[in-house]
Amino acid sequence: MASTNSFNTTVLFKQEKGFGYRIPALLYIPNTGTLLAFAEKRLGSRDEDADVLMLRRGTYKKSLKNFEWEDVTPIESARLKDHRSMNPCPVYDNNTGTVFLFFIVVYGNVSEQHQIKTGENVTRLCFVTSKDKGQNWSSPTDVTNPNIKKWATFAVGPGHGIQLKSGRLIIPAHAYEKQSDGQVMSRVFTFFSNDHGKSWNCGDFVSREECGECQMVSVDQYNGFDILYCNARSIKRGDKQCRVQAVSTDGGCTFTDVSLVKMLVEPPNGCHGSIIHFPASKLAGLNIYHVIKNYHLEQKKKEKDTSELTENFEIILFSHTTNFKSRRDLGMYLNTCPGSFHTWTEPWIIYPGPSAYSELAFVEFPGEDIPLVTCLFECGSKSECEQISFSVFQVDEVIKNILKETTD
């Protein structure tokens, strides 16, 4: 697995004396050239040391083929008294022009493990909103309901949510469900809204495989139906673990086809990853389109998929650490067969070294021929939590490098 350092990389959040940053989230506001990069500020190395959510706003500069970033600022309204704010999970409502920033708040320094052990949930679900691309934020809305309090604990994301073509907003989440024998099981599900954030509901838990932190994409199938694909962190322990996947055909209310993805590896204790998608038609004017189209055709043949090859198949990208033994060697994988999520490529390594949580965004601008893929990720030279860096790639470069790894 080869790697590259030829792309533009900027450190957005760096460990300082007395504090550091973790848990990146990234949101592109369509047709604006604005990226919002979020992270937790932590006063120590533990999850219990989380403090407040931080933001940097980036503006795309065509002359630089990159973003210029404003200073790091705290989102002071994204907190409750005596609680720490964690797990930024933003989503953009195209219908209303509203950014929703979901997060959890945890009372005092109570740990996740303590909540799991005792079954006493001290975590709440909140969001703040912005109508001006993240310059100003509302006061927090607490949407914790009695059903949520029945769980041992829970979390959203981290990383971005999505909006379906129907307008439904989806926030990926997982909860530790109490069992009749006193144990708990980690289950993935969705929070969703059908009324542009006025009310929120819970989907059913994903069954069969225990899994945790997750992200989702909604992709078109050749038969005209949409499927919601979930890619989640495995809770299992042991040698050579891999990611968990599931599929929903009802917009995240229920999930089926739960399975393990052997191509997508997990390090010991797992790690968070990010997933995005875009239609191949976005590349129709680029040389890489014919390359990816031929690759897609070959994958369909391998899967014995006899459906008609359309011009507008989907491209899915997934970022995650690629080493079985430790959190390191962040890479990107590719898939073009939404009907079969086992046809992942080999990874293209974008950061060869200690790395952990990552967050992807697909970015396209009016007047720019080549869309971008951006990645916000934890990394360092000795430890994966030294800084949170941002890299920007042209989408044709990403596809070319990934396919090179697969065909070499």
Task: Report residue 90's pLDDT band, with 50, 70 and 90 as the boundaries.
Answer: very high
Q: Is 93 annotated as catalytic? A: no
The one-letter code for the residue type at 275 is I
From 60, 92, 229, 357, the catalytic residue: 357
The Cβ of residue 108 has, within 10 Å, a number of other Cβ atoms equal to 10
Q: Is 408 annotated as catalytic? A: no
What is the per-residue pLDDT for 181?
85
Look at residue 225 and tell me whether its pLDDT is greater than 70: no
Mean pLDDT (whole number) for 90-104: 98
Q: CA-CA distance, 279 to 272, in Å (whole number)?
A: 24
What is the per-residue pLDDT for 127?
98
What is the per-residue pLDDT for 3?
43
Task: Say if strands 372-379 and 348-363 run parallel, antiparallel, or are unpaired.
Answer: antiparallel
Residue recorded with tokens 């890619």: 231
C-alpha distances in angstroms, 311 versus 203, 396, 398? 33, 17, 20
From 314, 346, 378, 384, the catalytic residue: 378
- Of 51-55, 64-68, 115-119, 122-126, give the lowest mean pLDDT range: 64-68
> pLDDT: is 120 or 208 the higher one?
120
- If you ran DSSP here, which 8-state letter would residue 382 be given? S
Mean pLDDT (whole number) for 50-62: 95
From 21, 28, 40, 47, the catalytic residue: 47
Q: CA-CA distance, 394 to 397, in Å (whole number)?
A: 5
Domains annotated on the chain, with CATH: 8-407 (2.120.10.10)
Mean pLDDT (whole number) for 334-357: 88
Question: In the predicted model, what is the mean pLDDT of the chain?
Answer: 91
CB 234 within 8 A of CB 260: yes
pLDDT digits (tens, 9 = 90+) for 257-315: 898 999 999 999 999 999 999 999 999 889 999 999 999 988 888 777 666 666 678 89
CB 186 within 8 A of CB 176: yes
CB 12 within 8 A of CB 388: yes
Q: Is 357 annotated as catalytic? A: yes
Sheet containing 98-107: order of strands: 83-93, 98-107, 123-130, 141-142
Torsion of CA 274, 30, 348, 307, to 10 degrees: 90
Mean pLDDT (whole number) for 101-108: 97
Q: CA-CA distance, 366 to 61, in Å (whole number)?
A: 13
At 215 the three-state DSSP class reads strand
User: Which residues have C-beta within 8 Å of that of residue 142, sequence separation ≥ 6?
Assistant: 80, 124, 125, 126
